[in-house]
Structure 1
């Protein structure tokens, strides 16, 4: 599935942060709205309950005033007490009217209505029988009934406050549950978006990292493609352009080496033949000093010719590395053949090669494996001290073939462990001075190991050098061919 990226990496980052933060922001906004709604509802409920309770107590006070004033009037007959009663009755009516304006439930309205009707009946009887003290006293007995109705209103006002507090608590718990549910719902969405955009951000970065690693490994044949926003794709195109330039420079260098090496072979052959003629006395007798000079000329001509041949071989190796020919290879037979070719070099230094190799058959490129073992073993012989031992071991480890070559030479410093696989790099033995060679042997090993999708490393060792090659294998059997 092709992922559609925005035009720039910055825009991708901005979009990612926006989409990741959007669910959380939505949850916060919803929570804020829920809390605001709860707050307003709670405020209205508290105001209603408080006003109702306050009004109920005012009604109780005014009822007490009316009863007290009318009883005093009945006893003393003073008209001032009757006026005070009527004033308290008017206040009772105002308070009742204000309470009826509140948004109360039907049951509270019913209690208030009953209370108001009872008080109105008593007031009518008071006004009708104000001149007759006996009848007025009979009307006063109904204040006990009014007090009972008033007690019910007061009790219900207190209960209303308690119910509103419980309702507020329930609403708060409900809002909290809603907020938590929204957060639990939004968190997976946000986490999913984080994972998606992390992958979208990491994918082009990994592509660029892989492209740089590819150039660092010297793989100049594989095209570089970076998927992602336009600016990163352009960067990938520039890296691919750099790869093409490096490949062209590499090919020019290889052609130059091949041409120069070829052009030097003819005059070098003439120099070597002349040195041979001088050394064997074919051109006349030489003095001891002249023979020594002729021998030096002959040895250096042979050395130079060998290095030119190695340069030509490396050019052929680079073209061979592109082609891998898999076949069944008997390991011990191949290793014996390599050791046979290096027997004279080992005998000249009295070096004992200790071989540990199973009689097994594996599937690999026989020629490349032969060159890898040959160059590593030749390198070990070159750097090992006389009358020492070299360990050569081949073994299977899971789905890999391990090739270990260990010598007792001066070893390889950590600072040089990556450089020794570079072309034309020479390392010096501390006591022996520069070791002669073209500096291509380990470079060829590294080239062939990469061609076989393996790896090579220098392992830690107190004395000497330890090279380990790991090659993937898909077939292994202990049966010899």
Structure 2
């Protein structure tokens, strides 16, 4: 089924239109070609038949003329009565008759007509020889009527045979036209069936993809997130399926994050509430059980607990405000190298306080996104690296484009993060229980949300060779789909 992903929906629409139009176009071309051939053949046949008919009529006319001239020549059998022009007229009629026969043979008539023409010519020659011979012998070998009867019969047979020839020729032309019409119908039916089969196949591909999309959307709407989404078919529908799969995994992560948030939040406010509860118990206790200055100590303890709860409340409010994805109006072109330089400059005091060196490898790169969110997650990651870097440590910052993605890596020389904890540190209020990184609050959780809004990914990866600190990488598509 991989071949289906090579075509986009637009390509399939064009292909479907082509499969509907091209057979019709080919049918019209074939019909036009066949009609032109038939029309050309009909024109040629009509022209030939017209010329042959005209020549046949001329031959029959010349046959009548030569018979009349010959009879007149015979009637004037007495040489003393004949005028010189009588023989000249007879000879001229014969010459014209011979020329008509020659013209008829030049028209490529069939063999049977050619034989009849030769037969007519031979009978005329016999009559001529008999008439010319009678000038000296004064007698005819045959009666004149018998001689010309055979001549007339040959002319009649020639005329009848030509009529049959003409009828046969037009019958063949009609059969050819009928065969062409039948061939057009058959080929048209075949092209129509082929076109219907191709269109049906395209519709099957599209309907299959649409059913998969419909089922995937229904599962997402009902909260069934366990089954992976896979859409086969045209490339853009396949890409849409990949976006839905990304949405499914994102929803699963959000659901898991929500559950974890509730648990971590409960643990986060447990200690301040416990302090307030203990303070209330001390206030209810007799004064002799509270040495020192109990009012001041309790006031400070309660104030610290309230401050802690206030901080958690503010962080929760800010975290809730970034859950909605940014609108298209908030998007702009962000110069990431300039943004990183600006943030590093703003953190110059914190870097100097711990004598931390910064090694930069920043390629010029611009990306479309929400500038404020890019600034916030960049500042959070840099501040996180400064916080956990040792005195006289080093932070390495790299910015580059990797194919269709922007890649940002920040690495410090701190204690690092164990591989099994790297996914959990992005959970709200996660506690690793390991030294300085025991409490992570909502900073990294907000970084993950900001990156997710831009269809990207943030993760802690293995440090480079000869290094052991934490190394975080952010990958965001350069061309964010709307």
Structure 2-normalised TM-score?
0.49
Structure 1-normalised TM-score?
0.49
